[in-house]
């Protein structure tokens, strides 16, 4: 995609990704320097590398530049911001921590001449001599002002200590900041805190509210405005970019270690665009309707199996069924991706540190990346999170038989839900609904689980099996059986016309049920559909199931 020509039909982030990648691979600069230079130029250039008259001071505020840099690096020049959920509290509420910024990658030299040499080496290593085409006098003056400014910051930036943290709510903090700076108004001290904080927590489902608790390193933050007032805007912007370059210094070691195209690709890759492109290409309306039907068949089969269990007690069945009836399947891309303006805004991210920006995409806190193939089930939310990566032409398509869908996607989904029945899940209370109420059914469960355990130990000649191994075996066994029966249920639906029933070439002699197992694996039903002799390796007399 990145190597193809830019098309008018491409959405903005894809157009930008193509241009960045194609310019990067053809540039004389290192990939990192190219990407950094692109961001700096987009924000008016680095004053220190421009003639004094060439820098347009009124084009961007330093606050706007810092915000744009933070979108790419995940860090502000002057603010250390963390959001931490309140233990045992409402998951939508969080504690905000306004700390001092992270310690610098490079220490501040005591000798100003050493500081000057260090900054100049830094500029040369990233951008080369050709970019430092200003006079020696101007460069020395800019670096001198940076030195004074950074020393002032260092004097008020002390290691974080809890006794420094002052606690208040967000409304009080913003009001306090506004009131103090209103007494000495200055454009350099205006901070739109809701925008600054929103840029950090962006793409989480939580919405910042004024009642959130703020823990502030108050002496540091109250000292900042006075330092800004005494400093020119040019020096503040120079510092924002200097810290940005320092942050990427360690990453510069990667140069020469990977192919240029790969380095450029990794620095151009954008998480949101990958998901958007994948979904728009492979996940049209007809597929969504079919997938809804597949999920409904899975859900119906799960409820049927629970209600027809011969060993579960009635109260357990009732609670488990109620949980299954209200279970939610989250199987599309997150709702943020439906808003192209958000994608355009976020396309500024993921240029220098893709992994940092990806960490911002924490939909429903943990749950599952849209670009993995692993299904996650949340006990508390009673939701199955299905990544869109599963819905690719290789696993779901109108051009392949339906049994493939159920043997692949159906199995993975059922296995995810089947973790409710694993040993550690069945013995712990989940919303006070799924624990056993007496020992008899639990003992029955243990006998069945032990049967699976013993069979695998004998087959693989294992002497030790962990609970993790056991849990995976139980959920896998449950998932495979449920997906097979959901597939059979789909075949009984007279209105299911979405996927044609046809035979794969050279497999015409097999039934669809046999093909299901050929596609995946074997459980107790395997012996029946393949007519295996009783007590043969694939059709033992004693069969195990949960």
Instruction: Indicate if the alpha-carbon torsion angle 501, 506, 512, 515 is positive or negative.
Output: negative
Residues 301, 191 share a domain? no
Assess whether 251 and 277 both reside in one domain.
Answer: no
- What is each CA distance from 409 to 13, 216, 286, 523, in whole angstroms? 30, 48, 17, 17
pLDDT of 333 reads 55
pLDDT digits (tens, 9 = 90+) for 43-60: 898 998 887 788 898 999
- pLDDT, one tens digit per residue, over 134-169 is 888 999 999 999 999 999 998 887 654 444 678 888
Pair of tokens at residue 387: 């990544």
Task: Please report which helix (H) or strand (E) contains residue 487, including its range.
Answer: helix 467-491
CA distances from 107 to 121, 305, 371 (A): 14, 64, 39
For residue 143, what are the contacts with CB-CB under 8 A and spacing of at least 6? 48, 115, 116, 119, 120
Question: Are 259 and 354 in a shared domain?
Answer: no
- Does the residue 538 lie in any domain? no
pLDDT for 371 equals 57
pLDDT digits (tens, 9 = 90+) for 414-439: 776 666 655 445 544 444 444 555 66
Instruction: Give yes or no: residues 165 and 307 share one domain.
Output: no
Q: What is the CATH number of the domain that holds 21?
A: 1.10.1380.10
CA dihedral over 115, 121, 127, 130, signed as positive or negative? positive
Backbone angles phi, psi at 216, to 5 degrees: -115, 135
* 265, pLDDT greater than 80: no
In percent, how much of the chain has pLDDT > 70?
61
The domain containing residue 317 runs over which residues? 273-529
Terminal CA-to-CA distance of the chain, rounded, Å? Answer: 46
Order of strands across the sheet with 94-99? Answer: 80-85, 94-99, 213-217, 165-169
Is 369 a domain residue?
A: yes
Structure confidence at residue 363 as a pLDDT band (50, 70, 90): very low
Residue 412: name the closest of 442, 450, 385 by CA.
385
In the predicted model, is pLDDT for residue 28 greater than 70?
A: no
Are 249 and 163 in the same domain? yes
Token representation of residue 480 = 């495979």
465: domain CATH number? 3.40.390.10
Q: Are residues 299 and 407 in the same domain?
A: yes
Same domain, 253 and 316: no
Is the Cβ–Cβ distance between 28 and 285 less than 8 Å? no
Residues 202 and 340 in one domain: no
pTM assigned to the model: 0.48
What φ, ψ does residue 249 adopt, rounded to 5°? -60, -45
Do 506 and 416 fall into the same domain? yes
């Amino acid at each position: 995609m990145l190597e193809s020509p830019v098309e008018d039909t491409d959405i903005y982030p894809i157009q930008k990704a193509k241009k960045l990648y194609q310019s990067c691979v053809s540039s004389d600069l290192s990939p990192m320097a190219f990407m950094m230079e692109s961001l700096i130029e987009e924000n008016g250039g680095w004053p220190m590398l421009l003639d004094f008259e060439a820098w347009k001071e009124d084009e961007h505020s330093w606050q706007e530049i810092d915000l744009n840099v933070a979108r790419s690096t995940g860090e502000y020049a002057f603010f250390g911001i963390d959001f931490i959920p309140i233990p045992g509290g409402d998951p939508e509420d969080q504690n905000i921590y306004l700390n001092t910024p992270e310690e610098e990658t490079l220490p501040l030299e005591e000798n100003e001449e050493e500081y000057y040499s260090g900054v100049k080496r830094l500029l040369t290593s990233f951008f080369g001599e050709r970019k430092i085409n200003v006079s020696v006098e101007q460069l020395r003056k800019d670096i001198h002002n940076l030195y004074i400014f950074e020393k002032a910051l260092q004097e008020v930036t002390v290691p974080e200590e809890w006794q420094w943290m002052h606690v208040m709510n967000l409304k009080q903090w913003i009001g306090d900041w506004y009131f103090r700076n209103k007494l000495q108004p200055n454009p350099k001290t205006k901070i739109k805190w809701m925008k600054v904080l929103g840029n950090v927590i962006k793409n989480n489902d939580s919405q910042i509210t004024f009642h959130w608790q703020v823990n502030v390193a108050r002496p540091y933050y109250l000292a900042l405005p006075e330092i800004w007032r005494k400093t020119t805007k040019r020096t503040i912007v120079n510092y924002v970019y200097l810290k940005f370059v320092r942050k990427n210094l360690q990453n510069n070691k990667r140069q020469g270690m990977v192919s240029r195209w790969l380095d450029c690709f990794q620095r151009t890759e954008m998480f949101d665009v990958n998901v958007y492109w994948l979904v728009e290409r492979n996940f049209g309306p007809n597929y969504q309707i079919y997938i809804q039907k597949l999920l409904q068949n899975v859900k119906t089969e799960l409820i049927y199996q629970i209600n027809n269990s011969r060993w579960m007690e009635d109260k357990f069945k009732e609670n488990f069924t109620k949980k299954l009836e209200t279970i939610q399947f989250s199987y599309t891309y997150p709702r943020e991706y439906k808003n192209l303006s958000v994608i355009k805004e976020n396309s500024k991210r993921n240029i220098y540190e893709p992994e940092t920006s990806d960490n911002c995409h924490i939909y429903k806190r943990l749950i599952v990346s849209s670009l993995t193939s692993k299904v996650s089930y949340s006990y508390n939310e009673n939701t199955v999170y299905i990544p869109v990566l599963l819905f690719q032409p290789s696993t779901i398509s109108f051009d392949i038989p339906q049994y493939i869908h159920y043997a692949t996607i159906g199995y993975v989904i059922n296995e995810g839900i089947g973790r409710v029945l694993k040993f550690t899940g069945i013995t712990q209370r989940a919303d006070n609904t799924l624990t056993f109420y007496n020992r008899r059914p639990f003992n029955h469960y243990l006998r069945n689980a032990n049967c699976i355990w013993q069979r695998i130990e004998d087959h693989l000649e294992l002497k030790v099996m962990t609970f993790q191994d056991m849990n995976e075996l139980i959920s896998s066994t449950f998932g495979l059986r449920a997906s097979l029966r959901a597939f059979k249920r789909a075949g009984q639906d007279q209105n299911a016309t979405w996927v044609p029933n046809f035979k794969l070439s050279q497999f015409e002699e097999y039934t669809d049920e046999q093909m299901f197992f050929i596609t995946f694996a074997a459980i107790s039903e395997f012996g029946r559909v393949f007519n295996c002799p009783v007590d043969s390796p694939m059709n033992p007399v004693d069969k195990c199931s949960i």
